[in-house]
Amino acid sequence: MQTLIKKDSFRRDLISRRKSMEVTDMRIVLLGAPGAGKGTQAAMIEEEFNITHISTGDIFRDNIRDMTPLGIVAKSYIDKGMLCPDDVTINLIREALVSPKVINGFILDGFPRTLVQAQTLDKLLTENNIELDFALNIIATDESIISRISGRRVCPNCGAVYHIVYIPPKVENICDVCNTQIIQRDDDTEETMRKRLETYHHENVPLVDYYQKKCKLVEIESTHGVHENWHKLKKLLEGYK
Ligand SMILES: [Zn+2]
């Protein structure tokens, strides 16, 4: 339950830089295991700090729904049950990063997942004169993730995420945002989660290492209580503002 700040000197630099530039926005990459509560925390960061939550899941959903040229390409792969190629994903991220919506900053969630993607993202950011403030890694144990996932429910219509104990909707089983009946995803089982976590750890170690070497890594430990986590995270981020 202790907040870990990996690079104190980096943090001080960042604070003084922000003060001298009178900048209040933040550009953050969000890392963390599937089921570590990233989406929830990202939504709370978006609201509190007035920066845009860029979720790759939402980008895909929105582009497919609006039938944009990239959305049509993405859908052709998804319909065949194939993974979308990296260049399609990267083009979608590029558009999101230069959108007027992110003028106050952003928290990027769902990308990068691999070291290669992190390097690609750096190129994208450099090309567009965007500087990343830090990568926020939300740490949780596999066991806590698995117990959390079993209670997870999602809205099939708008993508909102709930938990039967920790983040219940106001009306049982009904999405607060769009009134659709929420569901448990087929892959939210323990067996699937263990496999996903194995892949995640394999890819995430070099990713965390990458941001640490660039002195851009900030880590926070996630526990069961959403509000407890938020309290810690808010305090941490206020230090950067
Ligand atoms: Zn909904």
What are the per-10-residue average pLDDT scores of the chain (241 residues)?
44 47 73 85 89 90 93 91 87 91 90 92 93 92 87 92 89 96 87 89 94 93 79 84 64
Pairing verdict, β 52-55 and 105-109: parallel
126 contacts: CB under 8 Å, gap ≥ 6: none
- Quick one: which of 148, 152, 150, 155 has its CA closest to 176? 155
Give the C-alpha separation, 213 to 233, whole Å.
Answer: 22
| Active site positions, annotated | 38, 113, 152, 185, 196
Q: What is the dihedral of CA 212, 140, 155, 49, to 10 degrees?
A: -50
Q: Backbone phi, then psi, for 168, in 5-degree steps?
A: -70, 150
Between the CA of 86 and the centroid of ligand 1 the distance, in Å, is: 28
Between the CA of 231 and the centroid of ligand 1 the distance, in Å, is: 26
The position carrying tokens 């052709």 is: 76
Question: How much is the pTM?
Answer: 0.74
Between the CA of 39 and the centroid of ligand 1 the distance, in Å, is: 14
Architecture, CATH, for domain 8-141+217-238 = 3-Layer(aba) Sandwich (3.40)
Give the C-alpha separation, 52 to 104, whole Å.
Answer: 7
Between the CA of 118 and the centroid of ligand 1 the distance, in Å, is: 31
